[in-house]
Structure 1
Amino acid sequence: MTVKEVTLLVEELAPLGHAEDFDNVGLLVGDYDTVVSGILVTLDTLENVVDEAIANDCNLIISFHPIIFGGLERLNGNTYVERVVIKAIQHNICIYSMHTALDNAPRGVNARICEVLGIQNPQILIPKKRTLKKLTTYVPNTEAEKLRGALFEAGAGHIGNYSHCSFSMEGIGSYRAGAGAQPTKGEIGKTHFEQEQCVNVIFPVTREARVLNALFQNHPYEEVAYEVLTLENTDQTVGMGMIGRLEKPIDPRKFLESVRDRMNAQGIRHSRLLDKKIQKVAVLGGSGAFAIGAAKKAGADMLITSDLKYHQYYEAEDKIVIADIGHYETEQFTKNLLVDYLTKKMPNFAIRLSESKTNPINYL
């Protein structure tokens, strides 16, 4: 199996097209055509992780965080980033990262936090914008059903829990084939009128290549008339953070104690505890101060995240409890999630969970 084949499986879980614009995701070091001997899954790619990969004959490291985030101006080993990249290249080890693509995935980072904390029926807290497109095309009535079926098979026509969604209108199309054309219907030099359907389907941006390929492969006309528009509609299945409910309301202090124990947190910083029980809980793995407003608007009793600054605690405004449990702590189960997923996809392949310590924060 090649690196490309492995990463295509990963991207079924976390399509790179769903990563944030500022991020650096995908294959950061190596060649997609490399034959994989073993996979090491980690949260961060540090030198000790590369050493672990070498020791275990793993030539592909799948890392949540990208080791190369900003531009590399030189490779002389003066920084930890440069040393990691140099060592990986020297030992023919590929490094792949999905970061915010997995943050935005419905079965990603935040889904695992909800699972650990017992948060039921979680929904996306901040749906990602501009993840949907609409295809409009014109096809003869006699070929419309076949074309719709091919588009559905390619991933178009999904809206929430519904599939095979489309809208069609009948009308009369016209065209005149010029010299050199090979018209499916009509004759060169004569205007042809055809009973057609205008077919409209929605599809996720990550499926655009497949949908357009299905269009061109299954449309009967030599020249296909079509339009693709990016929609402002939000996709409720893709986005940052999640929100759901605990089975029963619980005292805020007791819930925070439960969070501490379940998430192995060394300490929790939080805003003032309110005189009401906690049941509706929002979570956002990693730096999540930007989600405070969305959590309040959604009626959350508590937001669990990390990397909050002093003044951001004021934003709770006695409407919500916001808790910072640590960046590593919110994302620590991500590598377990990836190992579980890849093991199911490739049950007979060598996939290892990294044992290297990568949390840079220590507590006295």
Structure 2
Amino acid sequence: MKSVNGNEIIQLFESWSPKKLACMPNDPIGLAIGTVNKTVTKVLVTLDVTMQVVEEAIAQGCELIIAHHPPIFRKLSNLRTDTPAGKLYEKCLKHDIAVYAAHTNLDVAEGGVNDLLADALQLKNRKILEHTYSEQLMKLAVYVPTDHADVLRAALASAGAGQIGDYDTCSFTTAGEGRFRALERANPFVGQIGEINVEPEQKVEVIFPSGQKNRILKAMLNAHPYEEPAYDVWEMALTTNEAGLGRIGTLPKPLTLQQFAELVKVQLNVPYLRVVGDLQQTVSKVAVVGGDGNSYIAAAKRAGADVFVTGDIGFHMAQDAEVNGLSIVDPGHHVEKVMIKGVAEKMAALCKDKKLPVQFIESQIHTEPFKFI
């Protein structure tokens, strides 16, 4: 059976939840403990990394843990093994268990925490609540002999240029004539040394996200027949690959706030929650932010939400929301546990597609610290 290096697993994970999506300054995402440059057969997926979770990983024979909440959130000034945190790190290292964290990048990613919460609440026609990421679009204009234009366009498309929404291989072409004279040390594809050459050419224009610039230019240069291709690259006013925190959408049918709160309890599997607002109010448009959503109350109101589902709402923030006509359902921070099943299933599917024999195990450890009595 083929062995799988942990780096391959992380590359697959970051193909849909890349680090660049992180929206918190200095978010401690990525590899936190150990190394992924080793054979990995089993991965434990968890919300939090506690001692009980590490013991679960050991019992299951896992070489890697993928977590949502980073196990090292602040810079360490020492690494003492007589502290609770130090003991946890020591246990991971002694058992060669690597820990990888995907925090706000997993919140933002398509199919990540907020989409999973929106799925659970059955939200339709959903949109991003607060945009936090986009890529600048760039345009390449390159002049190529007419007979080689199709080859060049195909190479650019294969490299990812010309993707616009649900369309690919998009380009614009203008016909014209190129003029040049090859000097003595040149090795011209067409024309003679020292003579003016007039060549039927096409100007091929394609757009692409700025992050793909190097790959696009490399593909163009490799496919172009000229020794010295003429081309221009510039930034456009448009952006692409919009992403952000939270989701807003509509319920399949309007509910009272009381009915919706009961739905949240069932769908997010919580025994209790806090509600702000008139329980008999009809709600239809719902905003959701996983974790602590205090900073997004204004965004939910601006987006026209009837009710905002999020955790850790403060007393005065709740009062302000109520005065401004925004109802709140607070099921707690721990509802982000939806990522356990979501990430495990997503990664299992990606690895199956790549024929990588890796097992993803959903942590069964309950890490909610609060108890209500």
Scaled to the shorter chain, the TM-score interval is 0.7 to 0.9
Q: What is the aligned partner in structure 2 of residue 72 from structure 1?
A: 76
Q: Deviations over 1:100-139 (max 9, x none)?
A: 2221112111121122112123222223333343242423
Q: 1:60 corresponds to which letter in structure 2?
A: L
Q: How many Å apart are 1:90 and its aligned residue?
A: 2.1
Query: Is 2:37 the counterpart of 1:33?
Result: yes
The letter of the residue matching 2:165 is: G
Structure 1: segments with no counterpart, 5+ residues: none
Residue 355 (structure 1) aligned with residue 359 (structure 2): no
Distance 1:60 1:215, change over 3 A: farther
Q: 1:203 to 1:320 in 2, by over 3 A?
A: same
Asked if residue 58 in structure 1 is aligned to residue 62 in structure 2, the reply is yes
Counterpart position of 1:119: 123
Show the counterpart of 2:7: 4
Paired residue secondary structure (2:365): coil
Within-5 A mapping of 1:1-364: 1-20=4-23, 22=25, 23-140=27-144, 141-169=146-174, 184=189, 195-203=201-209, 205=211, 207=212, 210-222=215-227, 225-227=231-233, 229=235, 233=239, 235-236=241-242, 238-273=243-278, 276-313=281-318, 314-329=320-335, 331-347=336-352, 348-364=357-373
Instruction: Name the % identity.
Output: 34
CA shift for structure 1 position 335: 0.8
How far does residue 31 in structure 1 lie from its aligned partner after superposition? Answer: 3.0
Deviation of 1:208 after TM superposition, in Å, equals 5.2
> Judging changes above 3 Å, is the alpha-carbon distance between structure 1 residues 182 and 85 closer, same or farther for their aligned structure 2 residues?
farther
> C-alpha displacement at 1:210, in angstroms?
4.4
| Residues 137-176 of structure 1: CA deviation (Å, up to 9, x unaligned) | 4231444433333333333333333333344555666777
Alpha carbons 1:25, 1:66 under 8 Å: kept: yes
Residues 257-291 of structure 1: CA deviation (Å, up to 9, x unaligned): 21122212343233322764111111111122232
Report the secondary structure of 1:343's partner residue: helix
Alignment-mate amino acid for residue 271 of structure 1: V
The answer as to whether partners of 1:39 and 1:62 remain within 8 angstroms in 2 is: yes
**Equivalent residues of 2:160, 2:208 under 8 A apart:** no
- Normalised TM-score (structure 1): 0.86
Tell me if the contact between 1:130 and 1:232 (Cα under 8 Å) persists in the aligned partners.
Answer: no
Which residue identity is paired with 1:356? I
CA RMSD in angstroms comes to 3.0
Bigger Rg, structure 1 or 2: 2
| Cα separation, partners in 2 of 1:185 and 1:37, compared to 1, 3 Å | same
Which letter maps to 2:162? G
Verify the 8 A CA contact 2:273 2:329 in the aligned structure 1.
yes
Q: Distance in 1 between matches of 2:194 and 2:82?
A: 70
Q: Which runs of 5+ in 2 are unaligned?
A: none
- In structure 2, distance between residues paired with 1:187 and 1:88: 68
Q: Distance in 1 between matches of 2:89 and 2:178?
A: 57
**Partner AA of 1:326 in structure 2:** G
The code of the aligned residue for 1:321 comes to S
User: Normalising by structure 2, what TM-score?
Assistant: 0.84
Q: Is the 1:157–1:203 contact (alpha carbons within 8 Å) kept by the matching residues of 2? A: no
Inter-CA distance 70–172: structure 2 relative to 1 (3 Å threshold) = farther
Indicate conservation of the 8 Å contact 1:136/1:199, yes or no.
Answer: yes
User: Which whole-Å deviations, capped at 9, do the CAs of 1:275-318 have from their partners, x for residues lacking one?
Assistant: 64111111111122232222222221111111222222204543
CA contact (8 A) 2:171 2:204 kept: no
Q: 1:170 to 1:309 in 2, by over 3 A?
A: farther
Aligned residue type for 1:6: I
Letter in 2 for 1:355: Q
Counterpart CA distance in 2 for 1:266 and 1:196 is 66
SS in 2 for 1:83: helix
Contact 1:38 1:349 in 2 (8 A): yes
Distance (whole Å) between structure 2 residues aligned to residue 88 and residue 147 of structure 1: 51
Measured at CA, do residues 297 and 187 of structure 1 come closer, stay the same or move farther in structure 2, by a change above 3 Å?
farther
Task: Tell me how many residue pairs correspond in the alignment.
Answer: 361
2:38 alignment partner AA: T
Change (3 A) 1:317 1:186: farther
**Higher relative strand content:** 2
d(CA) in 1 for partners of 2:116 and 2:130?
17
